[in-house]
Amino acid sequence: MSDSVHTEAHDHSHPPSFYYKVYGVLLCLLVVSIVGPMMGGLTVLLVTAFGVAVVKALMVAAYFMHLNIERKYIWWVLVMAVCFLLVLFYGVAPDVMKSHGVNWKSLSTPPPAAAEPAHH
Amino acid sequence: MSAFQIPVATTRSVTGIPTGRLAIWWVLASEIVIFGGLVTCYILFRLRHPEWAAEAAHTKLAAGAFNTFVLLTSSLSVVLAHLAATKKDTVNAKRYLTYTILGGLVFLCVKAYEYTSEISHGFTITRSVFWSFYYTATALHALHVVGGMTIMAIILPDVAKGKFLPRVEYIGIYWHFVDLVWLFLFPLFYIASAA
């Protein structure tokens, strides 16, 4: 193919100040992800720690890795890898998360505590 | 310059994407499966064992938060290096790449401090499954940090001479991914003790 790709780079119309702004937002989100879980509550933790982590990751991917202007081919490569992970998760989850099923029982599950004898 | 001195990856493209950049994305796709598989298994076990919250409470939140700050900052410096390389500004490209290497070094120093402190308190890799996951995931990530720093140190002399500048973009994409992985490891191992 063309030798021109040797010098090809993404078309960066963004000035350095754009990246500083993205960086500033990422730092603000970092503070939210640290302070948020301290407020307590599972929902708050899930949103502020993991929800914000997803937002931060998407921002890094989109603006720093330039996935927002990357060809769709790359998106499909990455989506395919994530699909493999979903297959792994949902394929293994029943064995890990459940203690028993139809015709099987987890040997690692501790037996239920013996019932208290009735007082007469 | 003979043909052997020109990297094929920077002079050929089948998909419309420079082959070097395409290769990096394929590497990252495989890395998603490696890190993702590890994290997926951890999440499954963590959901099954709520008592791991007590173990997770012993990780150092302040050190993890500082390392997140360091990696985000190094991500900024490497994207600025990429921007400078695009403009053929070799002086700034070299400067920002050096900052990124230093960022990686700071990250590793903090990680070494954490490991030393945790091990000295008896939280070794064999203590429990939680700590096995913790050391495996964070050490694998640290290994990737070392790899990124090494590659940046290797390309630095060429960047200073204005040669093979697209490599700055390729290592930048890799470094952002290393940062991105840490963005998930941080809440999983340092913050989720409340869950």
Q: What would the two tokens of residue A115 be? A: 């019932």
Say whether both A18 and A34 belong to one domain. Answer: yes
Residue A28 and residue A43 share a domain: yes
Q: Is residue A112 in some structural domain?
A: no
Q: Is residue A113 part of a domain?
A: no
Give all domains of chain B, ordered by start, each with its CATH number. 14-194 (1.20.120.80)
Residue A36 CA to residue A49 CA, distance in Å, equals: 7
Is the CB of B11 inside 8 Å of chain A's CB atoms?
yes
Asked if the Cβ–Cβ distance from A64 to B79 is below 8 Å, we say yes
If asked whether residues A26 and A44 sit together in one domain, one would say yes
Half-sphere exposure of B152 (CA within 13 A, CB side): 30
A20 and A58 belong to one structural domain: yes
Q: Which residues contact B102 (CB under 8 A, 6 or more apart)?
A: none
When divided into structural domains, chain A yields a total of: 2
* pLDDT of residue A38 exceeding 60: yes
**Nearest neighbour of A45 by CB, restricted to B40, B65, B194:** B194
Rg over alpha carbons for chain A, rounded to the nearest Å, is 24
Is A37 in Cβ contact with B194 (below 8 Å)?
yes
Helix/strand/coil for B50: coil
- Min Cα distance B48 → chain A (Å) is 6
In terms of domains, do A81 and A57 share one? no
CA dist list (Å): B181 to A22, B34, B107, B177: 18, 11, 14, 6
Asked whether B67 and B145 are in contact (CB, 8 A), the reply is no
> Tens-digit pLDDT profile for chain B (195 aa)?
454 566 665 566 677 888 889 999 999 999 999 999 999 999 988 888 888 888 888 999 999 999 999 999 999 999 999 999 999 999 999 999 999 999 999 999 999 999 999 999 999 999 999 999 999 999 999 999 999 999 999 999 999 999 889 999 999 999 999 999 999 999 999 987 655
Q: Do both A86 and A61 map to the same domain?
A: no
* Chain A contact present for B27, CB below 8 A: no
Which of A28, A30, A15 is closest to A63 using CA atoms?
A15
